[in-house]
Structure 1
Amino acid sequence: MKLYSLQFIEHTFSFTTYIYSLLTAFIALILISTGIFYYRNRSNPRFRTLFILVSLIGALIIGVQTSRLIDQQNSDSKTGQTVQLLRNIAKEKHVSPTKVYANSNTLNDGMTIKINQKYYTVNFNSDLTSYNLQETKLVNKPQLVNKDDFSIGQSGFSSSAMDYWDVALKFIVGLITVVLQINLSGKGNLAPSNAVDQLQNYILGGIIGGTIYNSQITNLQFIIIMLIWSVIVFAIKFLTSQNNILNRLINGSPQVLISNGMVNVSRALKNGMTASELAFKLRINGINSFKEVKNATLEQNGQLTITTFDDEAIRYPIISDGQINELAIKREKLTEADILKMLDERQISLENIYLAQMNNNQLDIVKYPRKSKKNNMYFQR
């Protein structure tokens, strides 16, 4: 435990207020200088971005310092009460104020005070208007901090200012996690393409928003939470890529709502598509009548893929990720046995196929790359 002298408490808070004010003025001067520099070079777009960046950083620092200054002013009023209490106690005990130490700069019930070689506990009433001293003994010898021991690093007793650094670090961790999930999933952005992606965005936002402002959650705990969620996300992606039934259960499957100008009303209602919503989606695709539509398919992400009689029909993969797409083969009027026969004729196993589509009654196949032992490189055969 540290016990601070009366002179240290008085000096610390007057110095801290001065430092905060000086730093705020310095940042404001940098902002003005940057603004003048940008005005002289405003024809160069690079300086515009630099000016915005410096302005945002400056505004952030000024905001933090202003908040600290306000907190400091509020704390100074409480410190004044503590200083007055210590002076009264010194006078009551007939000792020099330099012999009085306290473990806090604010009044609180149970605070410890050292007078000469004796230690006391201060007990206050409910509104801190009266007190009594009770002599006590400490388990360990305290560290005494005097005015001569003052340093900038000891310019206050509160560590609340470091909360801003914790928030900044959590933002950085959240940003890195989002970027990694986007890159590792190969999506390129956060636009959802199925139910798992949508759920991932919601929960990811909830995790980041809920933990950033919670000071009880440390940065290490935050990193562990993000790792747990990432494991869950990629586990679901792996499982859905290995099982068609699970994939349809979680992500759903494309649903044909209009075929050859005929609307499948029961299927549309089953998927929650009202008549006004269907008409709206047709209009935004430049189609005024459903009779013009050859095929309109509701995709897993809620978008409507439309082809008219003048367009070529959309072809869905017959095989994807080593699994046969049952809906696609039905559209092609084929059976699973037909597909397996085609593969057997070409001596290709189903699990080795990355992607396959029908084109002019032929099955175009893209296989998984295999590893060459000779040059340790991957290539497709």
Structure 2
Amino acid sequence: MEYDWIWKSAIVALAGLVLLRIAGRKSISQMTAATTVIMISIGTMIVQPIANREIGKAVGSAAVFVLFLFLMEYLQIRWDGLERLISGRAVPIIENGQLLVSNLRKTRITVDQLEVRLRQLGVANIGDVKNATMEVNGQIGYELMEHARPVTLGDLERILGLQPGMSLNTSVLFQEVRQNHHPTPVDPKLQ
């Protein structure tokens, strides 16, 4: 048929979507090297049948790639050494507030690029970072210095003098409001 490429394209696209859905929900930024290779291979295999008229083989090949991906992920869970070999490990790039220049070189990232990525994460000053790592998925993991950390509920409870687990509603500040009793302020001039 002259227009059979239309329905073949639709079948291949649908099969590709189903197989990629089965393969997992990882976003592109979280894909490991193995996942990236498999996804590129599936994309290549999906395009080929339109030209070669081999839809069954393309879908079968894509299914083999997905099974291979499952096998690799399973083996990485079972053996830590294999995970380290295939996916790698996080690399420290800032430790105790100090840039680890040699590790920046290993990850092929410049200080300027690190600053850009930290700004994208909401960190205004590289000096505010206590520890940072380049994760295996290419993202930056970081811990802020004590002075740069946002206030947590626990911090607020300590500041207000609350017992751990006591809600803010039971604090001294709100007892007056809940009891609808407001002590009359004493004017120091009258004393």
Q: Given the alignment, which residue of 6, 18, 23 partners 1:176?
A: 18
C-alpha separation in 1, matches of 2:139 and 2:80: 21
Does residue 239 (structure 1) correspond to residue 81 (structure 2)? The answer is no
- What's 1:290 paired with? 126
Unpaired runs of 5+ residues, structure 1, are 1-158, 313-381
Q: Distance in 1 between matches of 2:67 and 2:92?
A: 34
What's the RMSD between the two structures over aligned residues? 2.0
Listed as ranges, the matches of 1:74-89 within 5 Å are none
User: 1:188-227 alignment to 2 at 5 Å?
Assistant: 189=27, 191-211=29-49, 213-217=50-54, 219-227=55-63
1:379 paired residue number: none
Q: Unaligned 5+ residue runs, structure 2?
A: 151-191
Summarize deviations over 1:294-353 as a string: whole Å, max 9, x none. Answer: 1111111111112211349xxxxxxxxxxxxxxxxxxxxxxxxxxxxxxxxxxxxxxxxx
Q: Secondary structure at the match of 2:13?
A: helix
Task: Give a deviation string over 1:140-192, Cα, whole Å, max 9, x none.
Answer: xxxxxxxxxxxxxxxxxxx122222222211221121111212xxxx365553
1:4: which partner in 2? none
Rounded Cα–Cα distance in structure 1 between residues aligned with 2:4 and 2:122: 55
Q: What do residues 65-123 of structure 1 show as CA deviations (whole Å, max 9, x unaligned)?
A: xxxxxxxxxxxxxxxxxxxxxxxxxxxxxxxxxxxxxxxxxxxxxxxxxxxxxxxxxxx
- TM-score of the pair, normalised by structure 2: 0.69
Q: Distance in 1 between matches of 2:41 and 2:116?
A: 30
Residue 214 of structure 1 aligns with an amino acid whose one-letter code is A
One-letter amino acid of the counterpart of residue 23, structure 2? Q
2:2 corresponds in structure 1 to 160
Flag the structure with higher helix content. 2
Secondary structure of the corresponding residue to residue 233 of structure 1: helix
CA distance in 2, matches of 1:214, 1:194: 30
Cα separation, partners in 2 of 1:243 and 1:294, compared to 1, 3 Å: same
SS in 1 for 2:39: helix
For the structure 1 residues 309 and 214, does the alpha-carbon distance in structure 2 shift closer, same or farther, using more than 3 Å as the test?
Answer: same
The alignment's TM-score, normalised by the length of structure 1, stands at 0.36
Contact 1:254 1:298 (8 Å CA) reproduced: yes
Which structure has the higher relative contact order (CA within 8 Å, separation 6+)?
2
Question: Amino acid of the residue matched to residue 203 of structure 1?
Answer: S
2:168 aligns to what?
none
